[in-house]
Amino acid sequence: MPLMRSWVSSANSAETPFPLNNLPYGVFSVGGDEPRCGVAIGEMILDMAAVEEAGLITLDEVPCFELPFWNEVMDLGPEVWARLRARLTDLLAEGAAETEQVAPHLVPQTEAQLHMPFLVSEFTDFYAGKHHATNVGTMFRGAENALPPNWLHIPIGYNGRASSVVVSGTAIRRPWGQIKGADHALPRFAPSERFDIELELGAIVGVPSQGPISVAQADANIFGYVLLNDWSARDIQAWEYQPLGPFQSKATATSISPWIVAAAALEPFRCAAPHREVALLPHLQDDGPMHYDIPLSVTLNSETIAQTNARELYYSAAQQLAHHTTSGCPMRVGDLLGSGTISGPERGNRGSLLELSWGGKEPLALANGETRSFIEDGDTLGLHGAAQGDGFQIGFGDCMGTVLPALEDPYKGQTHG
Amino acid sequence: MPLMRSWVSSANSAETPFPLNNLPYGVFSVGGDEPRCGVAIGEMILDMAAVEEAGLITLDEVPCFELPFWNEVMDLGPEVWARLRARLTDLLAEGAAETEQVAPHLVPQTEAQLHMPFLVSEFTDFYAGKHHATNVGTMFRGAENALPPNWLHIPIGYNGRASSVVVSGTAIRRPWGQIKGADHALPRFAPSERFDIELELGAIVGVPSQGPISVAQADANIFGYVLLNDWSARDIQAWEYQPLGPFQSKATATSISPWIVAAAALEPFRCAAPHREVALLPHLQDDGPMHYDIPLSVTLNSETIAQTNARELYYSAAQQLAHHTTSGCPMRVGDLLGSGTISGPERGNRGSLLELSWGGKEPLALANGETRSFIEDGDTLGLHGAAQGDGFQIGFGDCMGTVLPALEDPYKGQTHG
């Protein structure tokens, strides 16, 4: 598929993340206006609330775009999603009939503030990257026991905290937590000293289900994807995670990129799953290419420190979602599934500082002469990703976060005994 | 505190779970009517939507009781909660001035259907019962390693699945899942054969917070309590839980009792924490009695199979909530915190079949001559609880669930490759 040309000229560049082929969904505001739904096109945002009010797009009897989230549209189901994309393409394509009616509703991205694009119903975080699981397992349990026994059979995951999901650009406060050093007999309560990122892809459930669904059905139920940074306090995690899994170590914040890239926009970039070392049970087998070829990278204060690709995942989002439903777990519109950290085979492909610095034993040398084992106060971490088409890209928009120092006294001003 | 007498005569019995001292909050409907908020009093339910419409109770400028959940009331904060209880007590006390205006809004409980009393924002399940943790740890890891190293220092917990929380009386479908027998080289996908209950107390967060809060503040932020049955598929759990914790094994359903017992109603039953074997760090220390003396029991097909007490918990709900906030995790109105299974020191005090049958090795003998290691299809499990006052009880209402056979073909009728 080549670049689809738009009358919005900035959308026709090979460098824009948002050509007509993409049309990602976000929520924006300008000045003190109420946040509302928008679609990115080149350097502009199409104001969907205005376009709907003008009668240029009608999805339902009630307004779908004036609320500051895309859940209302997701609720309408896959046929309406397809109709929306077709209509947006009609309105924005080169030679469109309604150019003059649409043009007044374009807002420059530089003037807009971006908000959370959807209401997160619940957040689940998987562990579907084999290089990451192997690296972490090797550090924690030794090379022989690196992969847990279940790992090659199910996409293991844990429930995360939806209330902590924030949009790119939100500052992240270094957390306090209970930490026990290897050399200490007792734990202490202190700011995390091993605060980290995790480069992930997030999948958004757009169709509810109750009861086990097939991988094919799960694939069809996914509305779109975001980049996702699962901020992780490794020292808190090491102390708390046995036997119930990560909890407070992952609850400070999870950042997502501001634009939901529709699954439909990623269709040309589907690719096959990696080699299966052990055959999966039938209910987890994929029957088509359900992974995506999306180059990804991590920056620390603007310097690229890792490059990898979403196709490195061992389990697709569809397989994760299918597994999620096996117990009868009800899935709802707006559920967010993190893939787990996406690392590649080489050191430069690792999607966390834990892996990049090998647990702090091999600090990362930065171009400015500094080194990093984990995040330092003031550091800005970024995730970046764009599928590479023939003369165009399907970009996600960056997922950025700056880490602020821990609170001095977290209990200041509170009732104590 | 003695029994507070009401002009609703059935509320003056020493046997009613719902005397004037209690006033628990639920959601009910009669016939095909819309569900709405109600308060239990003796054998009746006070229709709060009707009472509000009649001008007998006004909490806010907008109606608070016509929506089928109590989140609107929780949102108004502790001062309004206290005002509500005071006004309800005025209206329902013996000798009340407005008896004639209130009486028409009483509905017999026998005519009402009960619904979920609140919208669950997120669900967290703790592991705060020491007897339970010791029993399970002994079975899984041996007596020497029974308690995980962190257990005496923090109330460990994991995020559960809010979408799976259902009200008492909802039938529970035995789940399928991936299971690996100890004697098998590979896992299989099959219905759970070790489906179990967990007797827990659930605490409902009524005040939002962001950032670490003290135990005293956490205690003040809890709106009320329910009984909670965290249905658990032990065979699925054993295979999936390392290293990320329980996931699909706990996602089929969690049942709660239909009435929210206000924290205020439980005030007379506060009791001190058990002996601390290791001093807690200051941020987790309670500065007053924050446990509750509530006798609890489990029935299987109406036969009592276990009796215990909420005071057996090692960590209070306030300590659980305080720990939950340490990382900066935002807490929201409607968050539900399960205590973890509440067992006592003796065999007859165990709050799960896993413990009662010691992992199936010592099946439980029932009065009818049958035995049980785990739940069989058609079994009805019940949780019961009532704090015992001087001539009155603060009851929770039963938390019941009947287990249906697993689906024959969970993928029937779905798209497959």
Interchain proximity A241–B242, CB inside 8 Å? no
CB atoms within 10 A of CB B159: 29
Cβ(B297)–Cβ(B306) below 8 Å? yes
Query: Could you give the residue ranges of the DSSP H alpha helices within A16-77?
Result: 48-53, 71-75
Give ∠ CA B69-A122-A309 in degrees, rounded to 5.
Answer: 165
Q: Is there a contact between B137 and B147 (Cβ–Cβ < 8 Å)?
A: yes
* Helical ranges in A256-336 per DSSP H: 317-325
Classify B386 in phi/psi space as left (phi over 0), alpha (psi -120 to 50) or beta: beta
The 8-class DSSP code of residue A258 comes to: S
Percent of chain A at pLDDT exceeding 70? 99
Q: Which residue has the tokens 């009746």?
A: B44
Q: Tokens standing for B403?
A: 């287990």
Confidence of residue A414 (pLDDT cuts 50, 70, 90): confident
pLDDT for res A111: 98
Classify the complex by whether its ipTM is higher than 0.90, answering yes or no.
yes
* Collapsed DSSP state (helix, strand, coil) of residue A237: helix
Return the exposure string of B369-390: e unless at least 16 CB atoms fall within 10 Å of the residue's CB, then b: eeebbbbeeebebbbbbbbebe
Residues 263-302 (B) with a CB less than 8 A from some CB of A: 278, 281-283, 285-288
Taking only the tens place, the pLDDT of each residue in B168-223 is 999 999 999 999 998 999 999 999 999 999 999 999 999 999 999 999 999 999 99
Q: Are A285 and A318 in contact (CB under 8 A)?
A: no
Compute the distance between CA of residue A245 and CA of residue A238 in angstroms, rounded to an integer: 10
Cβ–Cβ under 8 Å, residues B320 and B339: yes
CA distances from residue A282 to A35, B179, B188 in whole angstroms, order as listed:
45, 14, 10
Q: How far is CA B213 from CA A103, A162, B79, B220, in A?
A: 50, 19, 19, 11
Alpha helices in A232-389 (DSSP H): 234-240, 317-325, 353-356
Chain A positions touching B328 (Cβ under 8 A) are 164, 173, 175-176, 251-253
Per-residue pLDDT, averaged over A334-344, amounts to: 98
For chain B, give the percent of residues with pLDDT over 90: 96
Compute the nearest-CA separation of B98 from chain A (Å). 39
Per-residue confidence (pLDDT) for residue A140, from 0 to 100: 84
pLDDT per residue as tens digits for the range A228-265: 999 999 999 999 999 999 999 999 999 999 999 999 99
Does B248 sit within 8 Å of A416, measured CB to CB? no
- The closest CB to that of B176, out of A212, A253, A287, belongs to A212
**Residue among B188, B253, B417 whose CB faces A287 most closely:** B417
Residue with token string 């009800």: A330
Lowest-confidence segment of A376-385, A406-415, B82-91, B339-348 by average pLDDT? A406-415
Residue B417 has pLDDT above 50, yes or no: no
Omega within 30 of 0 (cis) for the link into B2: no
A36 forms bridges with which residues in the sheet?
A: A28
Pair A197, A305: CB distance under 8 Å:
no
- pLDDT at position A268 is 98
The Cα of B198 is separated from the nearest Cα of chain A by a number of Å equal to 16
Which pLDDT tens digit goes with each residue over A100-143?
A: 999 999 999 999 999 999 999 999 999 999 999 999 999 988 99
CB contact under 8 A, A332 and B249: no
Average pLDDT over residues A174-203: 97
**pLDDT: which is higher, B412 or B134:** B134
Q: Which of A309, A336, A318, A382 has the alpha carbon at shortest distance from A117? A: A336
**In this model, does residue B323 exceed pLDDT 90?**
yes
Cβ–Cβ contact B189 with A under 8 A:
yes
Among all chains, which residue has been given the structure tokens 């000229």? A9
Query: What are the residue ranges of CATH 2.30.30.230 in chain B?
Result: 9-115
Asked if A194 is an interface residue toward chain B (Cβ–Cβ < 8 A), one would say: no
Q: What b-and-e string marks burial along B339-355, b requiring 16 or more CB atoms within 10 Å of the CB?
A: bbbbbbeeeebbbbbbb
| Mean pLDDT to the nearest integer, B129-154 | 94
Report the alpha-carbon distance of residue A330 to residue B88 in Å, rounded.
Answer: 37
Which of A7, A13, A6 is closest to A393 using CA atoms? A13
Task: Give exposure, A57-76, as e/b (b: 16+ Cβ within 10 Å).
Answer: bebeeebbbbbbbbbbbbeb
Cis ω before B243 (30° cut-off from 0): yes
| Nearest chain B Cα distance for residue A44, angstroms | 33
Residue A154 contacts B where some CB pair is shorter than 8 Å? yes
Contact indicator for A324, A338 with CB cutoff of 8 Å = no
Distance in angstroms (rounded) separating the CA atoms of residues A7 and A99: 8
**What pLDDT digit, counting tens, does each position of B108-123 carry?**
999 999 999 999 999 9
Residues 159-178 of B with CB under 8 A from A: 159-164, 173, 175-178
Q: What is the pLDDT of residue B415?
A: 61
Listed by number, the residues of chain B in 34-53 with a beta carbon closer than 8 Å to a beta carbon of chain A are: none
B248 contacts A326? CB cut-off 8 A: yes
Please give the Cα distance from A295 to A266 (Å, whole number).
Answer: 13
Please give the single-letter amino acid code of residue B14.
A
pLDDT class for B416, splitting at 50, 70, 90? Answer: low
Q: Tell me the average pLDDT across B315-326.
A: 98
B331 near A CB under 8 A: yes
Is the separation of the CB atoms in B246 and B237 below 8 Å?
yes
> What b/e sequence results for B88-100 when a residue is b if at least 16 CB atoms lie within 10 Å of its CB, and e otherwise?
beebbbeebeeee
State the catalytic residue, choosing from A105, A131, A132, A323. A132
Q: What is the pLDDT of residue A1?
A: 83
Give the C-alpha distances (Å, rounded to integers) separating A141 from A126, A135, A153, A246, A250: 19, 10, 19, 16, 21
- Within 10 angstroms of residue A148's Cβ, the number of other Cβ atoms is 18
Nearest to A327 among B177, B187, B212 (CB): B177
Interface test with B, best of A327, A329, A339, A412 (most B CBs within 10 A): A327
In CATH terms, the fold of domain B123-404 is Fumarylacetoacetate hydrolase; domain 2 (3.90.850)
Could you tell me which chain A residue has the CA closest to the CA of B172?
A: A328
Out of A69-83, A133-147, A273-287, give the one with best mean pLDDT. A69-83
Decide if A172 contacts B329 (C-beta within 8 A).
no
CATH code 3.90.850.10 region(s) in chain A: 123-404
CA distance A154 to A327: 13
Residues 309-328 on A with a CB inside 8 Å of B are 323-324, 326-328
Position A331: which residue type?
Answer: M
B247 contact A CB<8A? yes
Instruction: Please check whether the domain covering A9-115 is classified as CATH 3.90.700.10.
Output: no
Q: Quick: pLDDT tens for B23-78.
A: 999 999 999 999 999 999 999 999 999 999 999 999 999 999 999 999 999 999 99
CB A389, CB A409: distance < 8 Å: no
- What pLDDT, on a 0 to 100 scale, did the predictor assign at position A417? 44
Between CA B357 and CA B298 the distance in angstroms is 14
Q: Find out whether A26 and A39 touch, Cβ atoms under 8 Å.
A: yes
Which chain B residues touch A150 with a CB distance below 8 Å? 178, 180, 187, 239-240, 242
Supply A373's token pair.
Answer: 């084992």
Mutate to test the interface with B, among A244, A333, A407 (most CBs of B within 10 A): A244
Share of chain B above pLDDT 70, in %: 99
What pLDDT score was predicted for residue B413? 76
Examine the residue annotation and report whether A184 is marked as an active-site residue of this protein: no
Rounded to whole angstroms, the Cα distance separating A139 from B196 reads 35
